[in-house]
Amino acid sequence: METRGIEDMFDFRRFPKDAAVLLLLLIYFPVGICLMLIRIFIGVHVFLVSCALPESFVRRFIVRIMCSVLGMHVRQKNPRSRDRNTNLYICNHVTEFDHNIVNLLAPCNTPQLEGSTGFVCWARGFMEIHSASGQGAIGESLQRYCSTEGTPPLLLFPEEDTTNGRAGLLKFSSWPFSLTESIQPVALRVTRPLISLSTAESSWLMDLLWTFFAPCTVYHVSWLPPVSRQDGESTQEFASKVQELLAGELGLVSTKITKADKSEHIKRKRHTIPQTSTSVTPGSIGLGFMVQTLGTDDHRIAKMAQQVKDVLPHVPLNVIAKDLAKTNCVDTTITNLLENKEEAPMEASGMSTFGASKISSYSSGSAPTIKPAAKTFGKSPADRHLSLQERKEALYNFARRRYIEKHGLDQEDSH
């Protein structure tokens, strides 16, 4: 499966990299906070109005105006191309609110295929279906829905996950195209100044708050003419044809990257530890850089790295983080770094002598003095190997005791 360019299809940071735009965002920040608080209050009223009014053109018009106050502006292109006899709309997926935006222009229902059910599902505007029976049962249920007279059209997102809408489309899943013989493509483009629309791992609630914070978010909805499946054309071929059609309309690339590829890429990115600069020796600077640039799970690794750094101050943070990524254990990493000199290059030369003097000075105040250095140089290889093992054992015991005393642990807990 081709995953070239996958990094360009998703945003992994909310704020811009450009210094000038970042400065503008900093100036705008107090205004954005005030806007967010006001829009939260207005948003509650928008929700109540949408619940109180029956489904009609008047309701959609009023809610659309109120959404503009919330900063969500909707622009429509080629509205006359919308076929009122079509039972299935196919749209690309950019934000968690795409189905709400399209529903402001045309009555439609979007099933909740995964995630929250019950009140949250209903409040977000999804149609709840029972998905416990599997993909086949869901497809049959939706197929019956499409064949029922008088029901609003279905709106489905065959990408099955969101992108940033700037680089390409995820590979379309084929099962939505087995529901009907004819579909209507809907091209969606979303723009927003200053901040990203979403990040790869953000929740819909967090995205909603940032939408209220932003000056505005503009949704451009373009209706394409209906497309029918040709004789002898498989559902996957039909899906690929519609994907190419939407990609051409949006000026994007039609890729083979799937939702599973996105999930795998996020996992790899989450567990990748960036190498800190070896020219910066203070541990606090290295740890601060790691904490600011890593994800939630990596914050834990950064804290563990600092714990190891407190015990072994001469080992670079990037070496500690690399070993922690493998072991996920402070004690095991300390053992590895003490036993394997090649994987633990020291920031100061002469760990054997300098470290020994540090150990002796530390131990004199809180524990019996440790003398890891051999008194004489061994005459035979066996004697020298034994001396090395004694020094390693002494260093290991010292590091364990220092870690236990620093974090207030019991001797029994360290075993």
Axis-axis angle for helices 204-213, 19-52 (nearest 10): 110
Residue written as token pair 């969606």: 188
Q: State the pLDDT confidence band at 101, using cuts at 50, 70 and 90.
A: very high
pLDDT tens digit sequence for 31-64: 999 999 999 999 999 999 888 888 888 999 999 9
Mean pLDDT, the chain, rounded, equals 79
Domain residue spans in the chain?
Answer: 72-193+215-271
Name which residue leads in pLDDT, 377 or 410.
410
Structure tokens at 317: 């943070």
Rounded mean pLDDT, 146-160:
90
Q: State the pLDDT confidence band at 302, using cuts at 50, 70 and 90.
A: confident
Report residue 160: phi and psi, to 5°. Answer: 70, 0
Q: To the nearest whole percent, how much of the chain has pLDDT over 70? A: 75
- Residues 23, 36: Cα–Cα separation, whole Å: 20
> Which residue, 158, 165, 155, 183, is CA-closest to 219?
165
- Residue 242 belongs to what H/E stretch? helix 235-250
- Residues 159, 180: Cα–Cα separation, whole Å: 18
188 touches 98 (CB < 8 A): yes
- Residues 71, 149: Cα–Cα separation, whole Å: 36
Q: What does the pLDDT read at residue 348? A: 40
Name which residue leads in pLDDT, 415 or 82.
82
Rounded mean pLDDT, 105-127:
85
Most confident option among 1-10, 150-159, 278-287: 150-159
Q: To the nearest whole percent, how much of the chain has pLDDT over 90? A: 36
Rounded mean pLDDT, 251-270:
87
Rounded mean pLDDT, 219-248:
93
Q: What does the pLDDT read at residue 400? A: 75
Q: What does the pLDDT read at residue 272? A: 63
pLDDT at 371 over 70: no
Name which residue leads in pLDDT, 48 or 385.
48
- Residues 26, 194: Cα–Cα separation, whole Å: 10
pLDDT tens digit sequence for 330-346: 778 887 887 774 444 44
Q: What does the pLDDT read at residue 376? A: 52
Report residue 187: phi and psi, to 5°. Answer: -95, 130
Q: State the pLDDT confidence band at 193, using cuts at 50, 70 and 90.
A: very high
Q: What does the pLDDT read at residue 93? A: 94
